[in-house]
Structure 1
Amino acid sequence: MGVHVLQDCGGRIDHIVKMKTTGAVVPIKDGHGKHKNRPNALSADQKQSVGKHIDAIPKYQSHCSTSNNINKMFLNCDMTTASLYKDYYVRWCQQQNIIPVKQNTSRKIFRTEYNIGLNLPKSDKCKICDESKIKLDIAKSNNDDKEEERLTTFLNLHKIRFKAM
């Protein structure tokens, strides 16, 4: 291969010649992009702040649609990633005296590192569960221990029966 073929890449030839004259048997890699001075890189503290915020958000677990993904959690149906960022994360950062990350960074962490859905699945509509949970909340507010225990047992049995299907 002649120099005329590589005339557009004279820098490469100069690099190879320089490495050979220094005594290297094989030219070392040039190290493009291997520097450690990335000014916009996300620090571990910033990433951890997003994680702490996501962990603090109330989440719900679906028992009716767990066949697809057992560990999937869901947020309240009126939340979006934009509203989570604007309404909750930015305020939370102000309270904690932390500089918030950008919205797209927060969204990327939320979507890639957490198994959380924004809307409850359509298959999660269980009339028995909904009615029993309402009755259970009423029993708790009335301090009716017997009714609370009965409803808790009923709900647990219902969930076991559903998983057995």
Structure 2
Amino acid sequence: MSISSSSEFSEEDPYVDSGTDYVLSDSTDSDVPGPSRRQSKHFVSAKKGTHKSNEQQKTSVSNNTEIPNIQTVKKKGKKRVRMESKWKRNIMKSKQARGEEYINSANKLIQKKTTGPNCHCRKRCFTKIDDTQRQNILEQFYSTGDKTKQDIYLGGLISVSNVKRKRPTTGEGREKSNTYQYKLRAGSQETIVCKKAFCSLHGVSKNRVSQIAKNLTLGSIMSPSDKRGKHSNRPNKISEEIIAQIEEHIRSFPRRKSHYSREDNQKRYFLSPELNIATMHRLYLQKCEPEKYALLDDGKILKDIKPVVTYDFYHRQFNLNHNLSFGHPRSDTCQKCDRLHKTISAEANAENKTRLETEKHHYVPPIYKWYYEQIRVTNQDEQQREEELDSDSGEVETEDF
């Protein structure tokens, strides 16, 4: 590797701009740290220098030199995102809707959907279409991968009509009030088949088809949406009032935007660096569930103590509904902390240095002062309200001597 010498190269500025790429100058010592040292001997620097022309670059670097490409790596966020598509039960539902092989919740292997058995009816439905059309009907039906769309498609192939003539034989049993006609759609052509052939060629059960036909009989234009796992019988569900109370508590903390690095985090707000989610959850219990907070062991939640709002639920609400972070970027440092840090570093007297370190250690952020003042005012108002209710009741307490 040959690099041209120049008066611009110096020990103070070892990384020189060579146009489109950045290379290391000859005067660089091996102990000088640089980016990508472990990956390649050709160091890359983002420092701005003097720009040279392409001709100078060709003369300074030989043709045998290979400069590594600079790749931009996307920064990974700290908060975990709910990947519902990768949940086990959702993967099972998705494969079931696509007609693929899967393992159900009972750990049983369910085979891939195929055409069912022949109906052997007098209409000879299976002779009306060939094998290619059967495969196309099955693939077209399961290509959507959505149960709701599939039910709507099947509902469009079923027609309901009243019974034209009733001829009861024994007079027992239930009278038939509607008759159903089932069709197969192969391209632009529709063929009338029986119910068994209709179920076999689409790879569905008779109960599913009967439910769709029943909805059509009741006057529903489309089949209802998929309601599996969406029932309302959930006794342990957190009420909307408590969720609103959690949201109000999180929004009650003072927040601020970044000042110098706002371009990188325009929609993110920052809370006090003295806070964290565990501390905020304990403050929530102190304010909204004081009877549970009184049972805490030195601020820690015991296993046998289960508040209404657990830490996991509070943590989930914090991450899903708020773009908040603790502390502040390095470009937005605290003025008082910076001042104390510089003063401690420059202080020579041991006593003064110890005093400043104690002051920095015991510094109470304004967030705590504000929050405990809010709790004190709330408790005071509640106590005053109780005293007014006792005075209005007119009851006089007597003491036994």
Question: TM-score under structure 1 normalisation?
Answer: 0.55
Letter in 1 for 2:273: C
**For each residue in 1:58-78, what CA deviation from the matched residue of structure 2 results, as whole angstroms up to 9, or x when unmatched?**
445442332333564322324
Equivalent runs, 1:61-76 vs 2, <5 Å:
61-70=257-266, 72-76=268-272
- Residue 119 in 1 paired to residue 314 in 2? no
Deviates more, 1:115-124 or 1:23-32: 23-32
**For each residue in 1:27-47, what CA deviation from the matched residue of structure 2 results, as whole angstroms up to 9, or x when unmatched?**
532662564444344322111
- Residue 109 in 1 paired to residue 109 in 2? no
Higher strand proportion (structure 1 or 2): 2
**Separation (CA, whole Å) in 2 of partners of 1:47 and 1:14:** 41
Change in 2 beyond 3 A, CA 1:95/1:61: farther
Change in 2 beyond 3 A, CA 1:81/1:17: same
8 A contact 2:258–2:265 mirrored in 1 = no
User: Runs of 5+ in structure 2 lacking a partner?
Assistant: 1-183, 185-196, 293-306, 340-401
Q: Secondary structure at the match of 1:123?
A: coil
Letter in 1 for 2:248: K
Higher relative contact order (CA 8 A, sep 6+): 1
**Separation (CA, whole Å) in 1 of partners of 2:238 and 2:316:** 12
Question: TM-score under structure 2 normalisation?
Answer: 0.27
Change in 2 beyond 3 A, CA 1:124/1:48: same
**Separation (CA, whole Å) in 2 of partners of 1:37 and 1:79:** 37
**For each residue in 1:76-109, what CA deviation from the matched residue of structure 2 results, as whole angstroms up to 9, or x when unmatched?**
3243223322x32222222499x64232321222
**Separation (CA, whole Å) in 2 of partners of 1:59 and 1:96:** 29
Higher helix proportion (structure 1 or 2): 1
**For each residue in 1:10-35, what CA deviation from the matched residue of structure 2 results, as whole angstroms up to 9, or x when unmatched?**
22022134335x36474532662564
Instruction: Show the counterpart of 2:223.
Output: 28
Instruction: Give the length in aligned residue pairs.
Output: 128
8 A contact 1:60–1:75 mirrored in 2 = yes
Q: Secondary structure at the match of 2:287?
A: helix
8 A contact 1:64–1:126 mirrored in 2 = no
User: Runs of 5+ in structure 1 lacking a partner?
Assistant: 132-165
8 A contact 1:93–1:100 mirrored in 2 = no
Instruction: Show the counterpart of 2:287.
Output: 92
**Separation (CA, whole Å) in 1 of partners of 2:201 and 2:234:** 36
Q: Percent identity?
A: 25
**Separation (CA, whole Å) in 2 of partners of 1:128 and 1:82:** 26
8 A contact 1:89–1:100 mirrored in 2 = no
Change in 2 beyond 3 A, CA 1:118/1:52: same
